[in-house]
Structure 1
Amino acid sequence: MSEREKINIENIVASTSLAEHLDLSKIALALEGSEYEPEQFPGLIYRLKEPKTAVLIFRSGKVNCTGAKNLTNVRLTIQTIISTLKKAGIEVYDSPEIVVQNIVAVYDLEADLNLTQIAMSLGLENVEYEPEQFPGLVYRVEEPKVVLLLFGSGKVVCTGAKEESEIEQAVIKVKKELQKVGLI
């Protein structure tokens, strides 16, 4: 099994813009089950059952999509919102550019990790390890620019990636570094 096949994407956060300005009160009526309480939060929240995602829609026309496990579901979510709004007579862009803001993924090194030894061998400028405050080791990778959270169980959480390939690069990099110093 390749490294890519062992990476599980847990969440993709992406953004787009549907218009210059949106009437959220009108949208709240068009999107059944949406939550819009402007005194609590400035955006409208809408959760889709399929794919299981959520969107935040703002008056500025900006939209954030969260919860998708792949880019196909991000695009499907945005297209579903667009078609539902158009059916309700709300003018929105046909195919806006979607920008991935963050991908969170999990990988299993399949080995127990001694985080104290790893903290000492990876170099202090890129590593934070304070077990009294957080059980994982925070490793800031420069290239690709992502953050890896390493846990004693061998599980690694990658955050900050904009593309799936960055996750794979970071996982391969940390694996090589740990093998080089004999810690896996």
Structure 2
Amino acid sequence: MSQVSCHAICHDNGPLLKSVLSTLKPTAFSEMGRVLFIPSMNLLRSTTSSFPSRTGSRMLRGSKAQLKEGLEPTVLSVAASVNLGADLDLKAIADACVNLSYNPESFAPLVMRLKDPIATAMVHRGGRMTVAGAKSVEDCKIAVRKFTAMVRSVGFNVRPFGMLIKNISATFSVGFKIRLRDLSKNRMLTPQITYEPDSFTGVSMALPFPKANVMVFRTGSGMIQGVTTFKDLDKVFKIIYPHFKMYAM
């Protein structure tokens, strides 16, 4: 058998081969540092298969998978809270207005609805109002003005102030199926990730920054909730997409 320099082999094959050679018995080496036994290619293949590839390592450190053009979340609802600045008689409002429901025995707030823009408001006796269902911040502001006008028409001197966007909900579809069980083991995306297929068919995760809750299903569709700006919504989708791509079926 021809003798091959250990240094040359390690130089050509990298640190991994060094670790393989280091597992051989000391008697396999001559005093001159030359290899008397070279492991077979099958041994090298079986050993290297247990190590992640360089490509895989880069993906684990943070994939740069590009979003397809036009692939973005679809906004379902923009929710906001606002203070009307006055105590209200909800029954009087319910008797005077239309497109609302009021059943204090089962649900205390007064529920008001708009068709243009589509929005729903929950009005509390103390003057706090929550608006949801609008498709944009501008539609949400318009809905607040219209709901306020309805309350004012009954005779209450209300002036809305302190409007805050509380939640933006959006759906998405990435266009490919996802291996959910493998995804649920990825703690680099977030440590708060759960997958319990017996009770819920999707993966749920909580992102710390931007703060958001994400649900995703095997089909590649899902929902993002908890963000308060469209910038954060876009940022969350760009964060989660590469991780979904890693586990595409």
TM-score (normalizing by structure 1): 0.89
- Asked which structure has the greater RCO (Cα within 8 Å, sep 6+), the reply is 1
Aligned to 1:99: 164
Aligned to 1:21: 87
User: Aligned partner of 1:121: which letter?
Assistant: N
User: Aligned partner of 2:247: which letter?
Assistant: L
Question: Aligned residues, how many?
Answer: 179
Once the two structures are superposed, the pairs formed by residues 158-177 of structure 1 within 5 Å of their partners are 158-177=224-243
Change (3 A) 1:172 1:47: same
Conserved in 2, the CA contact under 8 Å of 1:30 and 1:85?
A: no
Once the two structures are superposed, the pairs formed by residues 89-168 of structure 1 within 5 Å of their partners are 89-93=155-159, 95-122=160-187, 125-168=191-234
Deviates more, 1:111-120 or 1:66-75: 66-75
Q: Summarize deviations over 1:46-95 as a string: whole Å, max 9, x none.
A: 111221211111111000111112112211111001222223322100x4
Deviation at 1:2, TM superposition (A): 4.9
Deviation at 1:34, TM superposition (A): 2.1
User: Aligned partner of 2:80: which letter?
Assistant: A
1:7 counterpart = 2:89: no
Conserved in 2, the CA contact under 8 Å of 1:21 and 1:61?
A: yes
Deviation at 1:116, TM superposition (A): 0.6
1:183 counterpart = 2:247: yes
Aligned to 2:137: 71
Unmatched 5+ stretches in structure 1: none
Secondary structure in structure 1 of the residue aligned to 2:95:
helix
Aligned to 2:112: 46
Distance 2:99 2:195 in 1: 43
Conserved in 2, the CA contact under 8 Å of 1:52 and 1:67?
A: yes
Secondary structure in structure 2 of the residue aligned to 1:157:
strand
TM-score (normalizing by structure 2): 0.67
Secondary structure in structure 2 of the residue aligned to 1:156:
strand
Secondary structure in structure 1 of the residue aligned to 2:103:
coil
Identical-residue share of aligned pairs (%): 22
Change (3 A) 1:37 1:156: closer
Of structures 1 and 2, the larger Rg is shown by 2
Distance 1:76 1:27 in 2: 20
Secondary structure in structure 2 of the residue aligned to 1:169:
helix
Distance 2:97 2:85 in 1: 17
Deviates more, 1:126-135 or 1:31-40: 31-40
Conserved in 2, the CA contact under 8 Å of 1:35 and 1:45?
A: yes
